[in-house]
Amino acid sequence: MPQTPDPAPGDTPAYAPADVPPDAPGPTAGPAAGRPAAGQRMPPWLPKAFALAAAVVLAFMAVLWLLQRLRELLTLLLISLFLAFAIEPAVNWLARRGWRRGLATAAMFVVVGLLFAGFLGGIGSLLATQAAHLIDGFPDYVGRLIGWVNGTFGTHLSQRNLFQRLPTVTDTLSRHLTDLAGNVWGIGTTAFGVIFNALGVLLFTFYLSAEGPRFRRTVCSLLPPRRQLEVLRAWEIAVDKTGGYIYSRGLLALISGIAHYAAMAGLGVPYAATLALWVGVVSQFIPAVGTYLAGAVPVLIALTKGPSTALWILLFVLAYQQLENYLLQPRITAKTLDMHPAVAFGLILAGAAVAGPVGVVLAIPLGASLQAFADAYVRRYDVEEHPLTEPDAPAAHWWRWLRRD
């Protein structure tokens, strides 16, 4: 039997895999044996990308930490900017007539301070006097109120049972007052913080108004000419909307005060002028809950005159609120705050969630400014005709229905 000859050098051995080509190189030995192939190497930009991402995350966390630390200062600056916007139309009016801006701003501070002090003084004296009268005559008022309720609605309320429950309420109230009086240090610290923040707001407001042109020139010097015009236009919109908000609310407060004074004076409610001032200011400058706070005090004071008088005052407050919402406010604020009531209410809720009471006050003028920015800078298109976009027919006035009948 013939023997198989040994393979010649370069021939493929019999035990080699069938799918390996005959001229495939064998395993490489030497320093390059453990080196990854060119397609498996880490890209040179990947470490830099990781480092950049880490730097961005750290910078973002640092900014959040800084904003958290400076939240109180930023709130003071926002309030000061709002107040500067509010008084700037009057300051500009005085400046065009030869007043220096610092003197004009100081004059506005004096006027606003006198109005605020007069309001607090009148309301404070009224509340103190009436609180003393209510406490002294409380049993008589309760007896008259229970008698009126029983006679009007046919109920059988007992004044004796009511007064038997008063000691429990009195003990609870006195305990809370004792705890409050024991925390004198905390109350003093809070009062000092409020005074310090108020002085800071006044200082920032004064400089933002008195040095307004210089401040705007400094900001514009950092921008190209086209951007400067956009910034100045946005600034002008914010001033117009904030000033319009303040002055329209002032006019509504004047009308509300006159109407409530006439009603309370006609019904014989004591301190009608002071109560009318309270209703006008609080109902207009405290959004959402201001109407209820404003109407509660006249109703309580009217109880000293009689339960029927308090009921008539309550009905007048509710009726005037409807008249103001549907007739006066849309006409007066049409050129200054053309905003849907649902949007305004949503802004108030958002402002309260973000910044508390300060956000409630600033939400509406800030929203009006943003709406004006959108009208000025956002491009709008014609809407295609469709049943879902068809507007409602104009509503007929109520006197037309009467005439038709």
- Of the pLDDT bands very low, low, confident and very high (cuts 50, 70, 90), residue 341 is low
pLDDT at 39: 54
For residue 166, is it left (φ>0), alpha (ψ between -120 and 50) or beta? alpha
When pLDDT is averaged across residues 88-101 and rounded to a whole number, the result is: 89
* pLDDT confidence of residue 235: 85
pLDDT number for residue 240: 81
Distance CA 70, CA 127 (A): 38
Residues of the chain with pLDDT > 70, as a percent, come to 71
Q: What is the pLDDT of residues 19-54, one digit of tens each?
A: 555 555 555 545 555 555 555 677 788 888 888 999
Q: Is the pLDDT of residue 316 over 50?
A: yes
- How many helices (H) and strands (E) the chain has is answered by 15, 0
- pLDDT at position 404: 47
CB 112 within 8 A of CB 86: no
- Predicted pLDDT of residue 127: 66
Classify residue 39 by burial, with Cβ atoms within 10 Å: 0-12, 13-18, 19+: exposed
Q: Say how far apart CA 24 and CA 396 lie, in whole Å.
A: 95
Position 241: which residue type?
K
Q: What is the mean pLDDT of residues 190-203?
A: 81
Which residues lie below 8 Å from residue 298, measured CB to CB, with a gap of 6+?
A: 260, 264, 269, 275, 278, 279, 313, 317
pTM beyond 0.85, yes or no: no
In angstroms, the CA 370 to CA 364 distance is 10
Q: How far is CA 70 from the centre of its chain?
A: 19
Nearest CA-CA partner of 89 in 239, 251, 248, 252:
239
Give residues with Cβ within 8 angstroms of 240, minimum separation 6.
89, 336, 372
Contacts 24+ apart (CB under 8 A), 160-166: 163/139
pLDDT at 180 over 60: no
Using CA atoms, how far apart are residues 244 and 252, in angstroms rounded to an integer?
Answer: 12
| Stronger pLDDT, 9 or 215, i.e. the higher one | 215
Query: What's the pLDDT at 402?
Result: 45
| Structure tokens belonging to residue 278 | 């309270």
Q: 43, 66, 62, 64: which is closest to 54 by C-alpha?
A: 62
Counting Cβ atoms within 10 Å, is residue 132 exposed (0-12), middle (13-18) or buried (19+)?
Answer: exposed
For residue 363, the model assigns a pLDDT of 77
Range in 74-88, 304-318, 371-385 with the lowest mean pLDDT: 371-385
Mean pLDDT for 330-348 is 69
Torsion sign over Cα 278, 279, 282, 285: negative
Q: Give 153-173 pLDDT, tens digit per residue.
A: 777 666 566 555 555 545 565
Residue 204 in tokens: 């920032």
